[in-house]
Structure 1
């Protein structure tokens, strides 16, 4: 009796059929494949999203949907055909456990490993942004729901692998999944595009709070219906998740709008210690000290000057009459890389040109006025390419050399003024900054 009681632990261990599948075999390899694929896809253009939470959200979401879901489908499909490749399918049919438990014992480890691989890749992306984030906050719901989508895709793929007796089913299914997702996501004006988990978001817009969860019900419901139709004793039970998936699809298609304005992107954070003030989008609030420092020379030269814009602003759309548009910091990877301004001098020059809106407003500008504008820009924040163009004109024709001499003389006149005289002249200049002819415009 004692010996029989001591032999119970092995029987108890046999009550955990999922453990071997989790620890070895194909499931961990599938998770590693998803992790490696997503990490490589994210790492190649890392400077274009690293540092911005919305950019990180959109890039990881796109990679999860367009690469992760097809890979999960293929992994599940390959796992589904395992018993057939081994020639043990008929033997398993005689097992005590029913079809659904046997299916789940094989499918659940792959689904969970695939979801874990995605979560780890998304976590790495969030960590890569966290240390150089420029503002805003992480969007954690999106990677969580994406992991559920990948797990559902793995389950659906296993159904196809069980049902289709073809060794090439896995790559064909992955290709078909990618094509369908690409088709649904390509034309966002099409009502069916709402069925794609990849919706049209941007740094200024975000999904409505319920969209990711409804997408999970839509995709997960289809996967659950397929599983029950294949393995349940009563296939009619598949109608329950199918009905949930249909209801979710109707909600997505009929909703009318799956995104909303990002509330953080509508606000500004300002440094009021300068003239003009410097205001940046709250999403990039941590860049404000760097931007203020880059513009310090320009704002210092405008101290005490009248008729200048009240502030630099960074909002969507045209600036107001008393504002000037701040140079763009997006898309990331150009002006800003990993939370740092890459070219402060160029950034300051672009801000200086924004103060003189005459060139954008006028079809033609008087040559004397154009030279005056260029002299003011040179004084406030010279172009990094100014010396190059001066050298080209110096080696050019007589007309080019004459124009270069006129520009240099205009610069010299402005720089040669006394501080009070230059401040008064600039005040008069900015009062006429929108005039297209030289009437009333002080020229140099």
Structure 2
């Protein structure tokens, strides 16, 4: 009896009612639902973010806010109505513990599991980008802030579930939250849109350092105010988190700007061993060797040629004097997939076409067109060139004659001596931007 009496108190100490809530029941299922929902939503368009840290940041954040927050609200709301569905509400009112401890014992496990589910999904996505990242670096503050947002949403949903006696409250709350978040994110020119937790960034911009955390105070303050107003012994204490949420909302709305240019996106890294030089945005620094290799045939044929642009560049906007625009690598999933150039031959052809500035002319001489096509073929032929040749070969007499003329022009450049070809190309690129056919060397 003595041993039993000594051991009896230990069975009620420790984690108390939180342990079974954490390990069993609805809370782990809510975390798993968040994890699976976010992974499925992100896996479908994986080509569009995998490999780019900024793209990964934006897609993960958008999924966490637009899908995770409504789901967290619904999970908390469903958990909040558990006692009412079981018919144990009146019985719990007679318990020794107060209303707030009982609320937290039921709500905190769901909030934590939801936050863990979001962090696990973000971790999987970061790992999926890590092995094929093209440059830049991760943005860990964003998923951390998102996990706090989802935990706060679960607490707020729990308060709604306790207050609203309706089984459809959870799905309707999730639907309403999705609609509100979508509305706030629709028109970013309005000041009230800054109240949305969804960060309005592009791949070339980042938020100011305090924005994610002030958004957490804004959403979390509202959630905590709802909890205290519902179950605190002194409900006036709800005014403290409500005041914090109000101050955060004012800061978000009145701020001059919530984003700033990404310093990495403003810099270029270059390979100066080629002619022209090859420069890419520093966000894609690890792509530079692949791009240089893809353009090696083109740049090798231009070695020693005069009147060329100094470099291929990847700056936003139009190229500066002495530069020509490098074919874009964004959006991811087109020319670059999971850190690899999808079609190096196509990429080289696009770079070669960028050197031929006459493509902007409204009308050009047929002989000049044939000369341009011959230079294009020599530097980096189009992947579909053979297809069009076959069409002309099956066409009428005029098409067949044009095909023969094109082939004769194509054969001239490789047949020249190296010095002669270099001199001819130097003269050609001197007139490459002229729409007037006079002065353009013919083949």
Q: Do the structures match in fold with TM over 0.5?
A: yes
Which position in structure 2 is the counterpart of 1:5?
A: 6
Which position in structure 1 is the counterpart of 2:71?
A: 71
Q: Equivalences for 1:378-389 in 2 at 5 Å? A: 378-389=377-388
Which position in structure 1 is the counterpart of 2:135?
A: 135
Cα deviation, 1:252-293, whole Å, max 9, x if unaligned, reads: 111132111111011111111111111111111111111111
Cα deviation, 1:341-394, whole Å, max 9, x if unaligned, reads: 11000000000001111112x222222212111111110000000000111122
Partners of 1:229 and 1:236 within 8 A in 2: yes
Which position in structure 2 is the counterpart of 1:367?
A: 366
Which position in structure 2 is the counterpart of 1:306?
A: 306
Give the Å deviation of 1:138.
Answer: 0.3
Give the Å deviation of 1:207.
Answer: 1.2
Separation in structure 1 between the aligned mates of residue 378 and residue 123 of structure 2, nearest angstrom: 47
Which position in structure 2 is the counterpart of 1:332?
A: 332
Cα deviation, 1:99-157, whole Å, max 9, x if unaligned, reads: 11110000000000000000000000000000111100000000000000000000000
Separation in structure 1 between the aligned mates of residue 59 and residue 400 of structure 2, nearest angstrom: 50
Which position in structure 2 is the counterpart of 1:394?
A: 393
Aligned length: 442
Separation in structure 1 between the aligned mates of residue 256 and residue 404 of structure 2, nearest angstrom: 61
Separation in structure 2 between the aligned mates of residue 159 and residue 267 of structure 1, nearest angstrom: 48
Partners of 1:369 and 1:437 within 8 A in 2: no
Q: Equivalences for 1:8-157 in 2 at 5 Å? A: 8-13=9-14, 16-157=16-157
Give the Å deviation of 1:400.
Answer: 2.2
Partners of 1:356 and 1:433 within 8 A in 2: yes
Q: Equivalences for 1:206-285 in 2 at 5 Å? A: 206-285=206-285
Greater shift in the superposed pair: 362-371 or 304-313:
362-371
Greater shift in the superposed pair: 200-209 or 27-36:
200-209
Separation in structure 2 between the aligned mates of residue 11 and residue 411 of structure 1, nearest angstrom: 89
1:290 aligned counterpart, secondary structure: helix
Spell out structure 1 runs of 4+ moving beyond 6 A. none
Give the Å deviation of 1:190.
Answer: 1.6
Separation in structure 1 between the aligned mates of residue 442 and residue 226 of structure 2, nearest angstrom: 77
Partners of 1:73 and 1:156 within 8 A in 2: yes
Which position in structure 1 is the counterpart of 2:440?
A: 441
Separation in structure 2 between the aligned mates of residue 166 and residue 149 of structure 1, nearest angstrom: 25
Give the Å deviation of 1:406.
Answer: 2.1
Where structure 2 has 5 or more consecutive residues not aligned to the other structure, the ranges are: none
Give the Å deviation of 1:16.
Answer: 2.3
Separation in structure 2 between the aligned mates of residue 85 and residue 246 of structure 1, nearest angstrom: 34
Give me the TM-score of the superposition, normalised by structure 1: 0.98
Cα deviation, 1:215-258, whole Å, max 9, x if unaligned, reads: 10110011011111101112111111111111111111111321
Separation in structure 2 between the aligned mates of residue 260 and residue 77 of structure 1, nearest angstrom: 37
Separation in structure 1 between the aligned mates of residue 201 and residue 354 of structure 2, nearest angstrom: 29
Cα deviation, 1:45-68, whole Å, max 9, x if unaligned, reads: 111111110011011001100110
Give the Å deviation of 1:192.
Answer: 1.2
Partners of 1:359 and 1:365 within 8 A in 2: no
